[in-house]
């Protein structure tokens, strides 16, 4: 996405990531074949299938990564259920047809099912043989997969974020028991680090306040340009979709002078680093998480009581950030089975309290951030945001008020 504008080292692409997942998928299969190959009936086709699923699992991503899927499409197509996993499967069909690739239909079907396994768990649940193969690349059962192994290591290194998660321990220790991949009980905390490191990346990098500011601006520009460029129309047809890439920004900038004026202005502001101004944020109280609904710009504007400026919805941008351990409010480790030692046949779950009392009791954060689209509106937006918290929770839940200097700097 646009993370590299804040973290200059984050210039790696999904191409490198896909090669990494391909390699790790091969390592996982080689380890299972080495220790349980005869028992599980793992053959050459199984290895190739899992590796190809790893190589191709992300080809369906749109321009600017998750921004296209989770921010842009819901704005122009409310209620959109589009996913990059399903587009990956559609693109795979298109590639095979277009280039007349000689591949067995059943073989192709399994690769596609493995790709969508994380977003469509029912697909994998209906598999009668070798169900465990569907948990290696995109694990919808408990979230442990080589996709995370690669991007966590890769992103931590590129962004200068420390990580002591060691994926090789899990690759070496995994065993299949009852058609389910299980792990040594001693690796419980290593698995916990996988999920907490991922959550740290979301909090520190992917949803960094300035990263989100740039994303909010680009989404506004894409929405403005959508009718003229027909961006969202390409999202349903794999023959058109592959043409969409980050050069869409250049298409906006080179459009005729009378077209896309507002979109062009936003792009120029991004290039000059004149971003939407971050005002403040708050974490949703723990006892309010279950019934929380995303805050909108309208909610902020309607909370304005007194101010020198009358806010409008187009003056405010809101980012609703959700950070969890992959299972919402639930602990993903509760879905994982463990074994005592190699050679043991019994698998069992482990609860947090059996391991450590220092592990978190809550597995989800919801953070609301508010931005002023014009610098002179920081004070008015900040006051309205505080009023919203008082109205919803009876108190200000933000850590501190917006600094006075920040309010006055732009007035």
| Catalytic residue numbers, as ranges | 84
SS3 labels along 114-158: HHCCCCCHHHHHCCCCCHHHHHCCCCCCCCCCHHHHHHHHHHHHH
Q: Smallest Cα–Cα separation from 364: which of 289, 293, 287?
A: 289
Distance (Å, rounded) from C-alpha 128 to C-alpha 3?
41
Unique residue bearing structure tokens 């250049």 = 250
Distance (Å, rounded) from C-alpha 257 to C-alpha 232?
22
Unique residue bearing structure tokens 């299969």 = 29
Distances (CA, A) of 325 to 154, 202, 241, 392: 19, 10, 31, 26
Task: Please answer whether residues 223 and 74 qualify as being in contact, where contact means their C-beta atoms are separated by less than 8 angstroms.
Answer: no
Q: Smallest Cα–Cα separation from 363: which of 393, 335, 395, 397?
A: 335
**Exposure string for 183-217, b = 16+ CB within 10 A, e = fewer:** bbeebbebbbbbbbbbbbbbeebbbbbbbbbbbbb
Q: Smallest Cα–Cα separation from 8: which of 241, 171, 210, 150?
A: 210
């Amino acid at each position: 996405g646009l993370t590299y504008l804040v973290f200059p080292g984050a210039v790696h692409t999904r191409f490198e990531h896909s090669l990494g997942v391909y390699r790790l998928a091969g390592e996982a299969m080689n380890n299972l074949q080495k220790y349980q190959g005869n028992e599980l009936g793992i053959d050459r086709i199984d290895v190739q299938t899992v590796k190809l699923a790893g190589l191709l699992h992300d080809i369906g991503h749109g321009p600017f990564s998750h921004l296209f899927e989770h921010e842009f499409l819901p704005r122009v197509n409310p209620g959109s259920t589009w996913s990059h996993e399903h587009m990956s499967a559609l693109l795979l069909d298109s590639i095979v047809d277009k280039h007349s690739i000689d591949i067995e239909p059943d073989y192709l079907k399994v690769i596609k099912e493995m790709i969508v396994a994380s977003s469509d768990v029912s697909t994998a649940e209906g598999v009668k043989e070798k169900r465990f193969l569907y948990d290696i690349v995109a694990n919808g059962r408990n979230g442990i997969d080589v996709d995370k192994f690669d991007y966590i290591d890769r992103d931590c290194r590129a962004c200068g974020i420390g990580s002591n998660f060691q994926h090789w321990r899990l690759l070496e220790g995994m065993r299949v028991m009852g058609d389910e991949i299980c792990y040594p009980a001693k690796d419980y905390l290593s698995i916990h680090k996988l999920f907490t490191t991922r959550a740290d990346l979301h909090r520190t990098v992917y949803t960094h306040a300035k990263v989100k500011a740039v994303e909010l601006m680009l989404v506004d520009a894409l929405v403005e340009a959508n009718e003229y460029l027909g961006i969202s129309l390409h999202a349903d047809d794999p023959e058109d979709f592959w043409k969409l890439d980050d050069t869409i920004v250049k298409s906006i900038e080179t459009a005729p002078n009378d077209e896309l004026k507002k979109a062009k202005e936003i792009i120029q502001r991004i290039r000059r680093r004149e971003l939407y101004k971050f005002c403040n944020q708050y974490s949703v109280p723990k006892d309010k998480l279950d019934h929380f609904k995303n805050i909108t710009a309208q909610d902020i504007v309607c909370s304005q009581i007194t101010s020198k400026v009358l806010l409008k919805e187009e003056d405010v941008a809101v980012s609703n950030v959700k950070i969890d351990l992959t299972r919402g409010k639930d602990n993903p480790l509760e879905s994982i089975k463990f074994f005592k030692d190699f050679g043991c046949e019994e698998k069992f779950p482990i609860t947090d309290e059996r391991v450590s009392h220092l592990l978190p009791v809550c597995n989800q954060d919801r953070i609301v951030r508010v931005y002023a689209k014009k610098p002179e509106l920081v004070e008015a937006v900040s006051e309205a945001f505080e009023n919203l918290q008082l109205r919803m929770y009876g108190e200000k839940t933000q850590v501190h008020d917006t600094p006075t200097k920040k309010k006055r700097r732009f007035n």
